[in-house]
């Protein structure tokens, strides 16, 4: 018999807040985390803006010497994991180490460590390359470091599926807890991609917005005049736990995870399928896994990147599954405020989805001035609303045609 899986803690390091409470408050207020790019300024890029994590201080969780040996993406993961564990009342050795695991996705991993040390190699020779370069750059190191911190010896690896990495990590963690492989999983996504080469690559692919004179209005999912996504960074971590395990420890329950599915477009290396079939199949299969019908869904936290092709494909997919011109499901995009955190997006956005179910509020999608015709008839939220959703889904899609959908249910204090 399948076991029930709940979310007993969340953590967030984002462009609009470095803890879940601040993150959620700013989402509800429609605060944008966008601004001029400050991490580097030695290059002339078509896009000069980003959504950077601000005032990040890991010292409460990572000492200075240790931090110098950990890439920024993994620092984000550690801090967000610590927040989630504190909320879930998890301490080292407070749970059976063989029944607890870690699965944190990342699309790029320690790219800054890799490229910084490559420059060192070219300019100063091999003896000057850091002995920590390999464990700092590999994407699975975030999962490894968190597991060491909490002595979790169950399943431990990472998922790398571009912008679906975090969602795939969460979905696979859900299956492991549901199927009895583990009782508890720390899961989500983390990314710190703001390096000149990564930025140049996305610019060359014409994926980024060039609305440089108005950064806070640059990320505009579903708007007719969107011109690309806003590059961002951060981490979103959740504790997925078997229901009785959470109850026994007296942990708070934010929401229940009831379904998950993943599909592939088999279409193009970067572009989504033109008619949204892969995304639609992901949603359909997730609803089947959750044993619910489309009309049961109250809210969709979309992938909603603000790219011309991506938003149209997702709108077409939503119409295929849920129809058009209905009062629900309500729809929004967290990326309108925090930009696109790439492999962390699934984690960050599922934190927002869980907080929507817990609080009853749905945050707005900002910067919509003229709806794209392809998105007409969909109930896209532009002002925060106390909708009291009971069932919500979160979508994540990645380069290569990777699609993932997760279904959450409001916890009713059973």
Q: Which two tokens stand for residue 324?
A: 């058009």
CA distance 228 to 217: 12
Beta strands in 195-335 (DSSP E): 234-242, 255-264, 299-301, 330-332
Nearest Cα to Cα of residue 355 among 17, 75, 82, 51: 17
Known active-site residue 163: yes
Q: For residue 223, what are the contacts with CB-CB under 8 A and spacing of at least 6? A: 306, 367, 368, 369, 370, 371, 372
What is the per-residue DSSP string for 352-364?
A: HHHHHHHHSEEPP
CA distance 83 to 114: 28
Q: Which two tokens stand for residue 387?
A: 């909708």
Catalytic, out of 168, 195, 273, 340: 340
Q: For residue 89, what are the contacts with CB-CB under 8 A and spacing of at least 6? A: 9, 249, 250, 251
Catalytic, out of 168, 195, 273, 303: 303
Asked whether the bond before 198 is cis by omega within 30 degrees of 0, the reply is no
Q: Are the CB atoms for 293 and 217 separated by under 8 Å? A: no
Measured at the CA of 119, the angle between CA 124 and CA 104, to 5 degrees, comes to 130
Sign of the Cα torsion 163, 168, 171, 177 reads negative
Q: Are the CB atoms for 289 and 260 separated by under 8 Å? A: yes
Nearest Cα to Cα of residue 54 among 29, 70, 31: 31
Nearest Cα to Cα of residue 308 among 228, 219, 211: 228
Residue with tokens 């409470």: 21
Known active-site residue 203: no
Q: Are the CB atoms for 343 and 402 separated by under 8 Å? A: no
Structural element, H or E, at residue 204:
helix 196-204
Known active-site residue 273: no
Report the largest interatomic distance among the alpha carbons of the chain, rounded to a whole angstrom: 64
Q: Which two tokens stand for residue 195?
A: 């390096």
Q: Which two tokens stand for residue 207?
A: 């994926």
Catalytic residues: 163, 303, 340
């Amino acid at each position: 018999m399948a076991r029930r899986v709940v979310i007993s803690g969340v953590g967030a390091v984002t462009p609009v807040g470095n803890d879940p409470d601040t993150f959620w408050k700013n989402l509800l207020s429609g605060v944008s985390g966008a601004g001029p790019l400050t991490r580097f300024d030695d290059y002339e890029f078509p896009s000069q803006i980003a959504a950077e994590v601000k005032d990040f201080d890991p010292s409460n969780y990572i000492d200075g010497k240790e931090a110098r040996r950990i890439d920024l993406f993994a620092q984000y993961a550690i801090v967000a994991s610590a927040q989630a564990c504190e909320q879930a009342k998890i301490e080292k050795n407070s749970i059976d180490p063989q029944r607890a695991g870690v699965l944190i996705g990342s699309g790029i991993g320690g790219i800054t460590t890799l490229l910084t040390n490559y420059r060192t190699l070219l300019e100063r020779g091999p003896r000057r390359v850091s002995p920590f370069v390999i464990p700092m750059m590999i994407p699975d190191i975030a999962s490894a470091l968190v597991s060491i911190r909490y002595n979790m010896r169950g399943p431990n690896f990472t998922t790398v599926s571009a912008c679906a990495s975090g969602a795939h990590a969460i979905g696979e963690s859900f299956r492991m807890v549901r199927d009895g492989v583990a009782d508890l999983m720390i899961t989500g996504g983390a990314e710190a991609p703001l390096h000149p080469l990564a930025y140049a690559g996305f610019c060359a692919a014409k994926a980024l917005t060039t609305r440089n004179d108005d950064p806070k209005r640059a990320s505009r999912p579903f708007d007719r005049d969107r011109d690309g996504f806003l590059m961002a960074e951060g981490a979103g971590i959740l504790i997925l736990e078997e229901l009785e395990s959470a109850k026994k420890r007296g942990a708070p329950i934010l929401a229940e995870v009831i379904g998950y599915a993943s599909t592939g477009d088999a279409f193009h290396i970067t572009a989504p399928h033109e008619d949204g079939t892969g995304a639609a199949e992901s949603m359909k299969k997730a609803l089947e896994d959750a044993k619910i019908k489309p009309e049961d869904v109250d809210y969709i936290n979309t992938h909603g990147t603000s790219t011309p092709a991506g938003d149209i494909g997702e709108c077409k997919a939503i119409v295929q599954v849920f129809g058009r011109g209905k009062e629900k499901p309500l729809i929004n995009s967290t990326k309108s405020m925090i930009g696109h955190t790439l492999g962390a997006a699934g984690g960050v956005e599922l934190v927002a989805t869980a907080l929507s179910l817990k609080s009853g509020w749905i945050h707005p999608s900002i910067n919509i001035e003229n709806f794209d015709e392809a998105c007409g008839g969909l109930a896209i939220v532009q002002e925060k609303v106390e909708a009291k959703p009971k069932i919500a889904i979160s979508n994540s899609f990645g380069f290569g045609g990777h699609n993932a959908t997760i279904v959450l249910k409001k916890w009713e204090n059973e």
